[in-house]
Chain A
Amino acid sequence: MHELGIVKHVIRTLNDVAAENNVRRIGSVTLEVGEVSGVVIEQLVDCWNYFREKDELVKGAPLYVETLEAVTVCTACDKTYGTVAHGKTCPYCGSKETYLLRGNEFSIKQIEAELIEDAPETE
């Protein structure tokens, strides 16, 4: 299942980020997911809610998901259009020679982080 793998990778990535940024605990995580990324958001959140409890860093942290619009490009007329509204057929010229330009992205947008109190700075 795709969602399971994604959640594991998100948690790993967050642990790397935490180590590099002096983060003690994460309060919330916001993802950006393309409209046609194929990820089932409810399933993703379920997986998240299950796995976050096994990881000290993200224990209890809610997952927020923001969706990004999908855009398709037509190779016949070079125009772009909204994928969800028009699917594979270009609304300008009717060509089916089209492919997805964006809308399948999946990224970690931001986190709320509780930082480890800074070590006294050496001037």
Chain B
Amino acid sequence: MIKVLELKMTVTDSNDRDAEALRNDLKARDVFLINLMSSPGSGKTTLLSRTITDLKDRVKIGVMEADIASDVDAKRINALGAESIQVHTDGMCHMDAGMTREGLDGMESIDSRIVFLENVGNLICPAEFDTGAHKNVMILSLPEGDDKPLKYPLMFKKSDALVITKMDAAPYFDFDLDAVRKRVKAMNPDIRIFPVSAKTGEGMDEWESYILSEWEKWRNA
């Protein structure tokens, strides 16, 4: 018998289910997963390095590198003493929940810690695929321009926090921070925005306190 089935499913439905399952499994293991998304070169690894250095005495941190730019990034993180793993995305433009789970399985020990996932550098596909993370953070570097929210609305809508990096470069660019705030809040009123410079340390305290307090909230929930 041939029948037409109306599905109206998004392509990401099967991934959404995997992601929900992973989120729950991680909760049981006390692993707080934070997904970092951005364009290539926006400063994810640099931000992570500084964040690890500042927080490593207060919480165990792990890093999963999925950015395709070789294993240079994993080496930079290992040098700071946090465990990191390089996952191979086989040319995929994003991490999905299945790949994230495999990556986590490849780490030596992840229980009771914060794990950062450095997603593939790309503002389109990672926004569409839930990795199973508990928090999604987008990184926008100041030289990329203040009109990015208008170009990639989905990414800004899906993120819990926006970190604006390379603030030390402000004197050299026409970057209107207030315009970014306005544009982003219009799409996502609940998003938290952190202007930082990993170079000078400006704004790092607020960003790091945010992570610690969200982690606390999640642990006690």
Residues of A within 8 A of B2 (CB): 27, 112-115
Q: B9 near A17 (CB under 8 angstroms)? A: yes
> Given contacts A13-B14, A100-B153, is CB(A111)–CB(B1) below 8 Å?
no
In-complex Cβ contact of A105 among B1, B3, B10, B150 (8 A)? B10
Which residues 130-152 of B sit at the A interface, judged by CB distance below 8 A? Answer: 149-150
Determine the chain A residues whose CB is within 8 A of the CB of B4 once the complex forms: 110-113
Residues of B with C-beta under 8 A to A10: 11
Chain A 10-34 residues near chain B, CB threshold 8 A: 10, 12-13, 16-17, 21, 23, 27
* Interface size class of chain A, counting residues whose CB lies under 8 Å from the partner chain: 35 or more
Question: How distant is the Cα of A106 from the Cα of B6 in the complex, in angstroms?
Answer: 15
A99 to B5, Cβ gap below 8 A? no
Pick out which of these stretches binds chain A: B30-38, B48-56, B91-99, B202-210: B91-99
Most buried by A among B7, B92, B96: B7
User: Is A104 an interface position by the 8 A CB rule?
Assistant: yes
CB neighbours (8 Å) of A112 from chain B are 2-5
Q: How far is the CB of B88 from chain A (nearest CB, A)?
A: 14
Which of A16, A27, A99 lies in contact with B150, CB distance below 8 A?
Answer: A99
Can you report 18 A-B residue pairs in the complex whose CB atoms are below 8 A from each other? A1-B91, A2-B125, A5-B93, A5-B94, A5-B96, A17-B5, A17-B9, A97-B150, A99-B183, A106-B10, A107-B7, A108-B8, A109-B6, A109-B7, A110-B4, A111-B4, A112-B5, A117-B1
CB pair A110–B124 under 8 Å, yes or no, is no
With a cutoff of 8 Å between Cβ atoms, the chain A residues found around residue B92 in the complex are 4-5
**Counting CB contacts under 8 A, is B190 at the interface?**
no
Flag B1-28 by CB within 8 Å of A: 1 or 0 each.
1111111111111110000000000000
Nearest first, the 9 closest Cβ-Cβ pairs linking A and B are A13-B14, A99-B153, A9-B11, A107-B10, A108-B7, A12-B14, A108-B9, A110-B6, A115-B1
Q: Are A16 and B6 in contact (CB under 8 A)?
A: no
Bound Cα distance from A38 to B15, whole angstroms: 20
B11 near A110 with CB under 8 A, answer no
A105: nearest chain-B partner, CB-CB: B10
